[in-house]
Amino acid sequence: MRTSGTLATLVMMGWLSVVLWLDRPAGEHGIWLQRGLGVLTWLLLVEALRRVTPTVRVQTLVVVAFATVVEYLFSPTLEVYLYRFDNVPAYVPPGHGLVYLSAYALGHTRLVRRHLRACVAGVLVVGGAWALHGLYLAERPDGLGAFWFACLVGFLLWGPSRPVYVGAFVVVSYL
């Protein structure tokens, strides 16, 4: 990214935080606010994509396409989870792109690159404790969270993009 990874992450995650806050159930602003947030999120994603290499741009678009298919399959089709207006909010597909770009930017910061082994160890310890809590101590057991943590362990141990996986853990945990 042409801007600092930390700054880019703060901007993108800051925007997603604002979107989630504005579209919270207590703020019954309606479907049109949700759609407007979607348009603005798409605009931010397009601007962010202008600032990355063609390879990262393609990776991000693949993430958006795959996540969109998963969202529409799992939410309105299979009803594994439901959104407030029984839709997939317009900001969700581009939001996945911003999450990926945030993870990428954070994973490529000087701090993560210099201390990658310690960052990976930290993710394994914190994520493992979190997954165990979800399985055994949480009010509602979370087996799916443990499954996704196991996938993350595999990516961190054998995947080609360990810094991005570290960034993804931080970004997704924040959200």
Same domain, 123 and 80: no
Please say which residue of 102, 125, 144 terminates a domain: 102
Looking at the structure, do residues 163 and 93 belong to the same domain, yes or no?
no
Q: Over the stretch 92-107, which tens digit does the pLDDT of each residue have?
A: 999 999 999 999 999 9
Distance CA 31, CA 14 (A): 22
Q: Are residues 96 and 127 in the same domain?
A: no
Q: Are residues 98 and 171 both part of a single domain? A: no
Q: Which residue segment(s) compose the domain that 61 sits in?
A: 1-102
pLDDT at 5 over 90: no
**Amino acid of residue 51:** R
Of 26-35, 52-61, 103-112, 150-159, the poorest mean pLDDT is in 26-35
What's the pLDDT at 26? 61
Domain match, 96 and 120 both? no
Tokens describing residue 101: 């770009």
Give the number of residues written for the chain. 175
What's the CA gap between 13 and 102, in Å, rounded?
7
Structure confidence at residue 25 (pLDDT): 72
Is the domain of 81 the same as that of 125? no
Other residues' Cβ atoms within 10 Å of the Cβ of residue 119? 24
Asked if 21 and 92 sit in the same domain, the reply is yes
- Which of residues 75, 102, 129 is at a domain's end? 102
> Are 40 and 74 part of one and the same domain?
yes
Question: Residue 83's pLDDT band (boundaries 50, 70, 90)?
Answer: confident
- How many Å apart are CA 40 and CA 137, to the nearest integer? 39
Contact indicator for 56, 164 with CB cutoff of 8 Å: no
Of all residues in the chain, what percent carry a pLDDT higher than 90? Answer: 73
Judge if 78 and 24 occupy the same domain.
Answer: yes
User: What amino acid is encoded at 98 in this protein?
Assistant: L
Same domain, 89 and 122: no
Domain count, the chain: 2
pTM comes to 0.88
Tell me: do 94 and 122 sit in the same domain. Answer: no
Residues 35 and 70 in one domain: yes
Q: How far does CA 30 lie from the centroid of its chain? A: 24
pLDDT band at 123 (very low <50, low <70, confident <90, very high): very high
